[in-house]
Chain A
């Protein structure tokens, strides 16, 4: 793999990755309704988007879901990662390892359907959750996002110098104090990165949300999907451009945090 072959394969690979995104952004500023024929520069689709109550309403639902799912996922995922990296062996260790990795690859239709059936059965026997909506989507998203947070937290906890925690314990700090005063500050930037990842994953999910949501709780991807199914439309391009812009900013912040964390390895 030397000479011209490798750089060319890499260049083509990156063109493959970025060309569709670039064209999506370019055509969001298209005057014409025909998404792929250039008809002059215009920002009218952005204006149209801001007047679309259905999109704005579902975006608000999605943001709420993503916020709470990310918070809960960071708690569940971090505790899971902490238990697996610091607690040595305990009963059910293998089970927890499996339950924390499997959601990463589990086909979404299976996760979505099985969770819906759980919610329906729980409602029948326990009376909770009554109906489906925000709560059930948040629970579902927390579960699969926790797995992603756990992966990030685990790798940070492994890198971390455990003698810091030992030193604190030797100086008389209890395990709770050691966790909050030493471990948590050291892994904080990884947790912020995990939170951002969980937030974007939740914001992005269509399949699981479609299964576990109820009437009146349509998330943004659900609304986009029903629009896109009928064909391409320029206001979706405008929406995509806004989302890509936000993601770019979020990734730059996350990348900066991770770099800063990597530069002072504790």
Chain B
């Protein structure tokens, strides 16, 4: 192997190794420490014992604490629930759009595709903010419904779990549509024709041919929504109520308010185990796609 080849491999390898992979080891190590009032606010891994020998200070105390305290357990469970429900809604809204775009003729197809991607390019924070103006008690939705006489009193939508679902679906919808679209454009039209020639109705064709064949797209899109949604902080913080428990929010508060870095690290490590399986699944789907 020439030295130049090694150098070219080394640059991305080292950068990502140091700034993406290594941090996880630091995270794991600090999750075993104890919070102290000092700079930095955690106990060192190695310490000199009074008799001069080197001691390793590490304990699973933080993890025991996480599993015993109902707050953390509920936060993990409710994060999974919120991410799952949002993923299902994103799929239900995203699938028809992806299907329609995949069947549309050019140039309509490119324009629609651009329209799906465009909101993704504008600021995520400001898109969540836009929903604050929409869902508020005297917001756009309530004002419109009341002036139309549909409702008498404003609906309470802000600071509820519903607002969080809307926020997640809204923000991550492009991530659902794009892989579905990529998958559906490759669908062989001859298969659909064959099904209808053999007497299948469009609905039957859809459920027996199109849907099963688009499964890799469904998996990829769902994982791209589910994984980041699990750890979401901004959306529950801005749209959710005080009782909207999400693990990203718990981690944030543990770090910024309680200043307990070791417990925050343990929360992150447990969250990492939650997302590792879906990440591996996503990668295997993508590897298979590359093989094709």
Contacts and interface: CB of A to CB of B under 8 A. Distances in A.
Nearest to A22: B130
Given A37-B143, A200-B121, A206-B234, 19 more contacts: A1-B203, A7-B100, A16-B93, A23-B133, A35-B133, A76-B16, A95-B13, A105-B228, A107-B232, A109-B251, A118-B22, A139-B19, A143-B15, A146-B15, A228-B132, A236-B129, A244-B122, A244-B123, A251-B117
12 contacts: A1-B203, A6-B96, A17-B170, A20-B134, A24-B129, A96-B9, A96-B13, A100-B16, A109-B251, A118-B18, A143-B20, A244-B123
A100 B12 contact: yes
A204 B268 contact: no
A121 B238 CA distance: 32
B181 interface: no
Interface residues of A, number: 90
A53 interface: no
Given A204-B125, A207-B233, A140 B19 contact: yes
A1 B206 contact: yes
B70 interface: no
A20 B230 contact: no
Interface stretch (A42-50, A78-86, A184-192): A78-86
Please classify the interface of chain B as helix (H, G, I), strand (E, B), loop, or mixed, using the class held by over half of its residues: helix
B173 A118 contact: no
B118 interface: yes
Interface string B107-122: 0000000111111011
B123 A204 contact: yes
Contact of A110 (B124, B129, B170, B271): B271
Contact of B134 (A23, A237, A255): A23
A67 interface: no
Contacts of A101: 283, 286
Contacts of A164: none
A97 B228 CA distance: 19
Please classify the interface of chain A as helix (H, G, I), strand (E, B), loop, or mixed, using the class held by over half of its residues: helix
Contacts of A266: none
Contact of A114 (B24, B122, B234): B24
Contacts of A51: none
Interface of A: 1-2, 5-7, 9-10, 13-14, 16-21, 23-24, 27, 34-37, 75-77, 79-80, 82-83, 87, 90, 92, 95-103, 105-111, 113-115, 117-118, 120-121, 124, 139-140, 142-143, 146, 150, 175-176, 197, 200, 203-204, 206-207, 210-211, 221, 224-225, 228-229, 231-232, 236-237, 239-240, 243-244, 247-248, 250-251, 255
A114 B228 CA distance: 16
Contacts of A176: 4
Contacts of A139: 19
Contacts of B116: 17
A15 to B, nearest CB: 11
Interface string B252-292: 10011000010011001001100100010011001000000
Contacts of A124: 40
Nearest to A38: B143
Contacts of A79: 8, 11-12
B275 A82 contact: no
Contacts of A7: 100
Contacts of B30: 117
Nearest to A25: B130
Contact of A109 (B4, B136, B233): B233
B15 to A, nearest CB: 5
Contacts of A211: 255
Please list the 5 inter-chain residue pairs (A to B) with the smallest Cβ-Cβ separation, ordered nearest first: A107-B231, A114-B23, A80-B12, A20-B130, A9-B96
